[in-house]
Structure 1
């Protein structure tokens, strides 16, 4: 069964953000759009490139009303240590959630039991706490924040314009479609 359109399951976790430890729950994802991006582990290779790319786009996401959260099965203490030692991770201003019990990784169905780590899972959550976008990769394949931004804009557009859908490669301002009997076989 897909997680699309399901609500985020209950959790409580600690995170590191801007020099502080904070506590987050499923309620933290409500009232605004959220991106939850799982990655395998701190102090690795592909992960810092993804988190830095997301950090480089963070201000744009915030202008769109989107909060960003990075999650790994490391502790919030490890996130702080990584932030303090990595030039790429020093750019990160969004919350890095510690998931040492793998509660979140299991809730979002990205946990690799035999490794104790998460797959590269990306989730876009609407202000009601429902998962609207879900993408899961093999851990050798890095993600692109620009493409994620396009998907978030499409999800926000569809939410604001019931009855319209965004076709492939849709970008902000481009034409959308209104599904109807008249369109069947004409696209």
Structure 2
């Protein structure tokens, strides 16, 4: 299960076309039964499909949205996005790792996180020459 405290400094939009009654049913159903359980962040209903269209996930002729995930910082800038087709799910663990990497680089602006980086691992400098130190160590 995701540590809900990691969502505090960042806004994550869960964009669903379904209405508020579907959301109510999802949060009242525990995760082991296919629901969302007790969430610490908002679900957003998109009955008019305007949000889905704005984020480029709407399939207009079907009136449904692809599986989109957008991590938006407090300034309203999209820091990360993934869009999957309807048959492919998203990884909660990868979302958590991405949020942790975003938080790390915000706190350490002179460093970048390589692919697959996890908290506690080495980061690297965003410079071709200085990054060689990182690559020599891995």
Q: What are the superposed Cα offsets for residues 66-88 of structure 1, whole Å, 9 maximum, x if unpaired? A: 45543211111332245456743
Q: What are the superposed Cα offsets for residues 14-54 of structure 1, whole Å, 9 maximum, x if unpaired? A: xxxxxxxxxxxxxxxxxxxxxxxxxxxxxxxxxxxxxxxxx
Q: Which residue of 2 aligns with 1:36?
A: none
User: May I ask how many residue pairs the two structures share in their alignment?
Assistant: 130
1:75 aligns with 2:19: yes
Q: Is the 8 A contact 1:164 1:179 kept in 2?
A: yes
Task: Provide the C-alpha distance between the structure 2 equivalents of 1:174 and 1:85, rounded to a whole number of angstroms.
Answer: 36
Q: Which residue of 1 aligns with 2:37?
A: 91
Equivalent residue runs for 1:145-156 within 5 Å: 145-156=92-103
Evaluate the alpha carbon distance shift between residue 183 and residue 96 of structure 1 in structure 2; reply closer, same or farther with a 3 A threshold: same
Q: What are the superposed Cα offsets for residues 87-106 of structure 1, whole Å, 9 maximum, x if unpaired? A: 43261424222101011111
The structure, 1 or 2, with the larger RCO (C-alpha pairs under 8 Å, 6+ apart) is 1
Task: Provide the C-alpha distance between the structure 2 equivalents of 1:176 and 1:151, rounded to a whole number of angstroms.
Answer: 14
Evaluate the alpha carbon distance shift between residue 100 and residue 161 of structure 1 in structure 2; reply closer, same or farther with a 3 A threshold: same
Structure 2, gaps ≥5 residues long: none
The normalised TM-score by structure 1 is: 0.60
Q: What are the superposed Cα offsets for residues 93-152 of structure 1, whole Å, 9 maximum, x if unpaired? A: 242221010111111111110111110111111121110001111110011101110011
Q: Is the 8 A contact 1:110 1:120 kept in 2?
A: yes
Q: Secondary structure at the match of 2:129?
A: helix
Evaluate the alpha carbon distance shift between residue 166 and residue 121 of structure 1 in structure 2; reply closer, same or farther with a 3 A threshold: same
Q: CA RMSD for the aligned pairs?
A: 2.4
Q: Which residue of 1 aligns with 2:5?
A: 62
Structure 1, gaps ≥5 residues long: 1-55
The normalised TM-score by structure 2 is: 0.79
1:161 aligns with 2:104: no
